[in-house]
Amino acid sequence: MENKKEKRGQFSSKLGFVLAASGSAVGLGNLWRFPFTAGANGGGAFVLVYFVILFIIGFTLMLGELSMGRATMLSPIGAYRKLKSKYAWIGVLGVAAGFLILSFYSVIGGWVIRYLVKAVSGDFNVTDGAVLGELFTDFIQNPLEPLVYHGIFMALTVLIVIGGVAKGIERYSKIMMPSLFVMLILLMIRSLTLPGAMEGVKFLLIPDFSKINAEVILAAMGQVFFSLSLGMGTMITYGSYLDKEQNLISSAMEIPLIDTIVALVAGLVILPAVFSFGFNPEGGPGLLFITLPAVFSQMPLGSIFAVIFFVLVLFAALTSSISILEVVVSYAVDERGWSRKFSTVTLAAVIFVMGIPSSLGQGLWSHVRFFGRDILDNVDFLASNVFLPLGGLLMCLFIGWVWGVDKAIDEVTNHGKLSFPLKGFWTVMIKYVAPVGILFVFAQATGLLELILGAK
Ligand code: TRP
Residue 260 makes CB contacts below 8 A (sequence gap 6+) with 54, 58, 227
Whether 227 lines ligand 1, by a CB cut-off of 6 Å, is yes
Does residue 173 surpass a pLDDT of 80?
Answer: no
Name residue 373's beta-bridge partners: 370
Nearest CA to ligand 1 atom 14: 229
- What is residue 18's predicted lDDT score, i.e. its pLDDT? 86
- Taking only the tens place, the pLDDT of each residue in 240-262 is 988 888 899 999 999 999 999 99
Instruction: Name the phi and psi angles at 373, rounded to 5.
Output: -125, 150
Contact in structure between 242 and 70 (CB atoms under 8 Å): yes
Q: Of the given ranges (185-194, 362-371, 383-392, 416-425), which has the lowest mean pLDDT?
A: 362-371
- What is residue 179's predicted lDDT score, i.e. its pLDDT? 87
Split at pLDDT 50, 70, 90, the class of 168 is low
Whole-number Å distance, alpha carbon 320 to ligand 1 midpoint, is 6
- What is residue 7's predicted lDDT score, i.e. its pLDDT? 56
- What is residue 128's predicted lDDT score, i.e. its pLDDT? 77
Nearest CA to ligand 1 atom 6: 229
Contact in structure between 255 and 29 (CB atoms under 8 Å): no
Whole-number Å distance, alpha carbon 324 to ligand 1 midpoint, is 7
Whether 260 lines ligand 1, by a CB cut-off of 6 Å, is no
* Average pLDDT of the chain, as a whole number: 90
Rounded to 5°, the CA angle 123-127-130 comes to: 100
Contact in structure between 17 and 242 (CB atoms under 8 Å): yes
CA distance 227 to 209: 23
Mean pLDDT computed over 311-338 = 90
Whether 157 lines ligand 1, by a CB cut-off of 6 Å, is no
Alpha-carbon dihedral 293, 294, 298, 299, rounded to 10 degrees = -20
Residue 9 makes CB contacts below 8 A (sequence gap 6+) with 164, 165, 166, 241
CA distance 157 to 148: 14
The neighbour count for residue 12, using CB atoms within 10 Å, is: 14
**For 139-261, where are the E strands, in sequence order?**
none
Whole-number Å distance, alpha carbon 102 to ligand 1 midpoint, is 9
Burial call 305-341: b when 16+ CB within 10 Å, e when fewer: bbbbbbbbbbbbbbbbbbbbbbbbbbbbbbbeebebe
- What is residue 167's predicted lDDT score, i.e. its pLDDT? 62
Higher-confidence residue: 365 or 112? Answer: 112
AA letter at 5: K
- What is residue 214's predicted lDDT score, i.e. its pLDDT? 92
Split at pLDDT 50, 70, 90, the class of 176 is confident
By C-alpha distance, which of 351, 352, 331, 349 is closest to 340?
A: 331
Contact in structure between 152 and 113 (CB atoms under 8 Å): yes
- What is residue 122's predicted lDDT score, i.e. its pLDDT? 79
- Taking only the tens place, the pLDDT of each residue in 201-219 is 999 999 999 999 999 999 9
Whether 320 lines ligand 1, by a CB cut-off of 6 Å, is yes
Q: Helix (H, G, I), strand (E, B), or coil: what is residue 147? A: helix
Q: Which atom of ligand 1 is least distant from the CA of 234? A: 12
Whole-number Å distance, alpha carbon 223 to ligand 1 midpoint, is 10
Whole-number Å distance, alpha carbon 421 to ligand 1 midpoint, is 29
Whether 224 lines ligand 1, by a CB cut-off of 6 Å, is no
Mean pLDDT computed over 258-287 = 94
Burial call 187-202: b when 16+ CB within 10 Å, e when fewer: bbebbbebeebeebbe
Whole-number Å distance, alpha carbon 169 to ligand 1 midpoint, is 15
CA distance 380 to 2: 37
Higher-confidence residue: 236 or 2? Answer: 236
Largest CA distance in the chain: 63
Q: Which atom of ligand 1 is least distant from the CA of 228? A: 1
Higher-confidence residue: 326 or 34? Answer: 34
Mean pLDDT computed over 269-274 = 94
CA distance 230 to 388: 7
C-alpha neighbours within 13 Å on the C-beta side of residue 143:
3
Whole-number Å distance, alpha carbon 369 to ligand 1 midpoint, is 25
The neighbour count for residue 410, using CB atoms within 10 Å, is: 14
Whether 37 lines ligand 1, by a CB cut-off of 6 Å, is no
CA distance 232 to 393: 11
- What is residue 1's predicted lDDT score, i.e. its pLDDT? 33
Contact in structure between 411 and 239 (CB atoms under 8 Å): no
Mean pLDDT computed over 146-164 = 92
Whole-number Å distance, alpha carbon 25 to ligand 1 midpoint, is 6
- Taking only the tens place, the pLDDT of each residue in 340-392 is 899 999 999 999 999 999 999 998 888 888 888 899 999 999 999 999 999 99
AA letter at 282: E
Does residue 267 surpass a pLDDT of 60?
Answer: yes
Higher-confidence residue: 96 or 20? Answer: 96
The neighbour count for residue 450, using CB atoms within 10 Å, is: 13
pTM to 2 decimal places: 0.94
- What is residue 75's predicted lDDT score, i.e. its pLDDT? 87
Rounded to 5°, the CA angle 352-357-360 comes to: 110
